[in-house]
Amino acid sequence: MSVLTADDLDTVRRTRARRTLLAGSVGNFIEWYEFGVYGCFATVIATEFFGGGTGSGTEGLIRTYASFALAFFFRPVGAALFGRAGDRLGRRPALVLALLLMTVATTAIGLLPTRATLGAAAPWALTLVRVLQGLSAGGEFGGAVSLMTESAPRGKRGLYGAWQSFTVALGLLAGTALAAGAAAVLGERALYDWGWRVPFLLALPLGLAALWLRLRLDETAPAPGRAESVPVAAPREVLRAVALGIGRIMGWSAAGYTFLVVLPGYLQHTLGATFREALTAAFLANLGFALSILPAGALSDRVGRRPVMVTGAGLVVLLAFPLLRAVQGAGTPPVVRGLAVLLAGAVVGLMAGPGPAMLAEMFPARVRCTGLGLAYSLANAVFSGCAGLIVTELVDRTADADIPAYYAMATCAVSGATLLTLRADDHRRALRD
């Protein structure tokens, strides 16, 4: 009988932590891959599902974003349902169920008949599928972040949690790249006829691969006997933490969606950019986002969550207006425009990197899945899901093309003030039991 040495045990723990990190983040990749595709094809979906009737192009786009927003308002329901399961039954079964629902719903979008075939029922069918996606997405975040932060080695909780945000960026990049590739390879007619469906259908093989990884996960939740011996947090305390968490991440939610997801539709509809130009800008913004997330998470393990996230919120307030003006300027060189959207994404990454670990540190283990999932999903429902709807509607009503900058600046100003209430040593404290 062989005896494992301390080095052997350390190797086993690190291997398990990395496997957990991969399995925890892969479902999140699929979720945000789909949201990236949906955002990039917003104008196509507006025509195929919400057009063809009395609505103008603007009205069709607004209805598309309304469907987008509705899915976000079902996220808190999913966070409560899947979060409760994750806190009571374990992180793994909740994450497996959330992944299955997301994969089926995303694949279904690629199979839905359009308005030309199904008539007025087509937008309702799309909205129903989006609702299912909202439920699954609401359950994904709480379980995945709990899993990744609970399995993180000492002193690396910020980095491990940052992988949740990093897979958001990877998913958005993948979705944007595939949408751009389809637009480049296919003609406009083929893109509208069937090409837009392909990226959604690819969610099926991706989901099956992710399911295989998740079925091999080790559980990180407290054992039932141990869990019963830990006092349950008072409902008022949990609700207070949820409200505080919403305030701390509302800027991340609003600025992230404005710069990363709503940007293609805004550039095409408001500034008259071509589809390819809009997708290129979105790709660069998401690239900047991806490049800054992991370094920001790792830096927060060294200096704390507060300084990194406050810096990100402050930079959005200072730079949102000049960066948007650089994009708007007809005479702005393409290189400058590219650098502007790249920087916009990178600044959001300063908040998104430490954000998951920051939320995990706010809740005890018995309610961590539910608590952080609710904080994240409620913030996203109000400030992310409505971003496209708010920006498009206000620009149309006011003819003010600077609305995206005002929206990002206002929400980040509130977040920056709320983030100042973080304790300086939260990153050094053990997660609460």
> Percentage of the chain with pLDDT > 70?
87
Residue 236 has pLDDT above 50, yes or no: yes
pLDDT at 70: 74
Phi-psi region of 119 (alpha: psi -120 to 50; beta: other; left: phi over 0): left
In whole angstroms, give the CA distance from residue 154 to residue 152. 6
pLDDT at 61: 65
Mean pLDDT (whole number) for 220-237: 57
Output 324 or 163, whichever has higher pLDDT.
163
In whole angstroms, give the CA distance from residue 103 to residue 109. 10
Output 358 or 87, whichever has higher pLDDT.
358
CB contact at 8 A, 76 and 376: no
> How many angstroms separate the Cα of 22 from the Cα of each of 15, 106, 218, 320?
11, 21, 12, 33
Q: How confident is the model at residue 269 (pLDDT cuts 50, 70, 90)?
A: low
CB contact at 8 A, 115 and 48: yes
Residue 233 has pLDDT above 60, yes or no: no
Rounded to the nearest 5°, which phi and psi values hold at 400?
A: -100, 110
Per-chain mean pLDDT for the chain = 82
Q: Is the pTM of this model over 0.85?
A: no
> Percentage of the chain with pLDDT > 90?
25
Q: Which of 18-32, 370-384, 409-423 is most confident?
A: 409-423
CB contact at 8 A, 145 and 372: yes
Output 232 or 289, whichever has higher pLDDT.
289
Lowest mean pLDDT among 205-214, 229-238, 351-360: 229-238
Q: How confident is the model at residue 380 (pLDDT cuts 50, 70, 90)?
A: confident
Other CB atoms within a 10 A radius of the CB of residue 123 amount to: 24
Domain boundaries, the chain: 16-419
Residue 218 has pLDDT above 70, yes or no: no
Which residue, among 66, 49, 42, 65, has the nearest Cα to 265 in the 3D structure?
Answer: 42
Mean pLDDT (whole number) for 101-115: 89
Residue 4 has pLDDT above 80, yes or no: no
234: buried, middle or exposed (CB in 10 Å: 19+, 13-18, 0-12)?
exposed
In whole angstroms, give the CA distance from residue 317 to residue 412. 6
Q: pLDDT per residue over 270-279, tens digit each?
A: 777 777 777 7
Q: How confident is the model at residue 229 (pLDDT cuts 50, 70, 90)?
A: very low
Output 377 or 176, whichever has higher pLDDT.
377
> How many angstroms separate the Cα of 174 from the Cα of each of 31, 118, 122, 147, 179?
11, 30, 27, 24, 8
Q: How confident is the model at residue 11 (pLDDT cuts 50, 70, 90)?
A: low
Domain spanning 16-419: CATH superfamily: MFS general substrate transporter like domains (1.20.1250.20)
Q: pLDDT per residue over 326-375, tens digit each?
A: 887 777 787 888 888 899 999 999 999 999 999 999 999 889 989 999 99
Q: pLDDT per residue over 29-78, tens digit each?
A: 887 787 778 777 777 877 788 764 444 556 666 666 666 667 778 888 98
Residue 141 has pLDDT above 60, yes or no: yes
Residue 225 has pLDDT above 50, yes or no: no
> How many angstroms separate the Cα of 271 from the Cα of each of 22, 209, 419?
39, 40, 34
Other CB atoms within a 10 A radius of the CB of residue 430 amount to: 8
Rounded to the nearest 5°, which phi and psi values hold at 66?
A: -65, -40
In whole angstroms, give the CA distance from residue 212 to residue 58. 42
Lowest mean pLDDT among 142-151, 227-236, 387-396, 419-428: 227-236
pLDDT at 343: 93
pLDDT at 226: 47
pLDDT at 54: 42
pLDDT at 116: 83
pLDDT at 375: 94
Helix (H), strand (E), coil (C) string for the chain: CCCCCHHHHHHHHHHHHHHHHHHHHHHHHHHHHHHHHHHHCHHHHHHHHHCCCCCCHHHHHHHHHHHHHHHHHCHHHHHHHHHHHHHHCCHHHHHHHHHHHHHHHHHHHCCCCCHHHHCCHHHHHHHHHHHHHHHHHHHHHHHHHHHHHHCCCCCCHHHHHHHHHHHHHHHHHHHHHHHHHHHHHCCHHHHHHHHCHHHHHCHHHHHHHHHHHHCCCCCCCCCHHHHHCCCCCCHHHHHHHHHHHHHHHHHHHHHHHHHHCCHHHHHHHCCCCCHHHHHHHHHHHHHHHHHHHHHHHHHHHHHCHHHHHHHHHHHHHHHHHHHHHHHHCCCCCHHHHHHHHHHHHHHHHHHHCCHHHHHHCCCCHHHHHHHHHHHHHHHHHHHHCCHHHHHHHHHHHHCCCCHHHHHHHHHHHHHHHHHCCCCCCCCCCCCCC
Output 90 or 244, whichever has higher pLDDT.
244
Amino acid (one-letter) located at 329: G
